[in-house]
């Protein structure tokens, strides 16, 4: 039985990541637009954060006690085949979800203007598209809370919270900021008011707390499948980075010197440099 308080705690963590998307709209209260150079760098930072969270957070956690991290590097003991199989199946399922989501999003052809002029039917369509797009991030948050309330974490408001959960919540929140920027740019060009930019940015990530609760519930009632849960979240996020974030950055950077490669690589390095130390605290 999963306690109601734990579901509420995980939902709140997912809600924090959704609210973080709204931060991407705040710059438009002070400037009319964000330069392509900064946009590419932000996508690079988000990519570095997601890759770090996936590899050094979720994948290493899936391998559990078979991974030994020290100043000298990472050592890996022989891992049981079942655990590797679950991890591999999870990775493949995560990639498959994002692949299918790509087809759904492209088939839906949601115009950003619908955000500002949406009737009920359009809202249902938009929410459906956003669900398949942002659900993997929510799953990542949810599975990272698998050990919530179990000894070995850190105390927050009287609850024992796993360090991995803190790491993933911070990582997804930071990653959501450039997504908020990307959502706000076309809306701003259409004359959508600033406060609506914040609302639609947050709205785009509302599936995340829902995905977090669903994933958390699953790994709590079926803990033997926890490696698959970690793999699913990692596979989805890595595939998102490779098929959405980096291509988006390269598209935006076409007008920059060197097609924005310096800004993209710099952002990637910065994102990894910020998140990797947190993974080994």
Q: Does the residue 82 lie in any domain? A: no
Q: Does the residue 140 lie in any domain? A: yes
Question: Under a CB-based contact definition with an 8 Å cutoff, are residues 63 and 83 in contact?
Answer: yes
Nearest of 178, 214, 200, 194 to residue 122 by alpha carbon: 200
Question: Under a CB-based contact definition with an 8 Å cutoff, are residues 9 and 159 in contact?
Answer: yes
CA distance linking residue 79 with residue 131, whole number of Å: 34
Q: Does the residue 169 lie in any domain? A: yes
Query: pLDDT value at position 84?
Result: 87
HEC per residue, 86-150: HHHHHHHHHHHHHHHHHHHHHHHCCCCHHHHCCCHHHHHHHHHHHHHHHHHHHHHHHHHCCCCCC
Q: What is the pTM of this model?
A: 0.78
Q: For the chain of 281 residues, list the mean pLDDT of each consecutive stretch of 10.
A: 82 94 89 82 87 85 68 64 89 86 62 53 54 78 85 75 87 86 76 86 88 90 85 88 86 87 92 77 59
Q: Does the residue 77 lie in any domain? A: no
Query: pLDDT value at position 176?
Result: 87
Structural domain total, the chain:
1
For residue 143, give its domain range: 4-68+87-279
Q: Does the residue 76 lie in any domain? A: no
Q: Does the residue 60 lie in any domain? A: yes
Q: Does the residue 81 lie in any domain? A: no
């Amino acid at each position: 039985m999963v306690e109601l308080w734990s579901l509420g705690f995980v939902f709140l963590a997912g809600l924090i990541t959704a609210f973080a998307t709204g931060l991407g709209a705040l710059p438009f209260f002070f400037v009319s637009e964000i330069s392509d150079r900064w946009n590419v760098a932000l996508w690079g930072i988000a990519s570095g954060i997601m890759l770090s969270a996936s590899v050094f957070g979720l994948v290493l956690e899936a391998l559990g006690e078979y991974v030994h991290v020290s100043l000298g590097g990472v050592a890996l003991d022989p891992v049981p085949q079942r655990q590797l199989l679950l991890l591999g199946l999870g990775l493949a399922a995560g990639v498959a979800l994002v692949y299918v989501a790509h087809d759904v999003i492209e088939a839906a052809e949601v115009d950003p203007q619908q955000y500002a002029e949406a009737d009920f039917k359009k809202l249902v369509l938009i929410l459906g598209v956003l669900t398949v797009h942002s659900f993997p991030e929510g799953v990542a948050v949810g599975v990272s809370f698998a050990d919530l309330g179990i000894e070995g974490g850190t105390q927050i408001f009287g609850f024992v919270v796993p360090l991995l959960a803190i790491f993933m919540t911070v990582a997804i929140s930071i990653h959501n900021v450039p997504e908020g920027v990307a959502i706000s740019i076309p809306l701003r060009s259409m004359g959508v008011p600033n406060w609506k930019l914040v609302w639609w940015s947050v709205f785009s990530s509302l599936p995340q707390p829902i995905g977090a609760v669903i994933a958390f519930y699953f790994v709590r009632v079926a803990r033997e499948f926890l490696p698959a849960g970690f793999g699913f979240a990692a596979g989805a996020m890595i595939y998102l980075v490779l098929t959405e974030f980096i291509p988006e950055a390269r598209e935006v950077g076409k007008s920059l010197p060197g097609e924005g490669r310096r800004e993209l690589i710099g952002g990637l390095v910065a994102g990894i440099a910020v998140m990797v130390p947190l993974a080994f605290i």
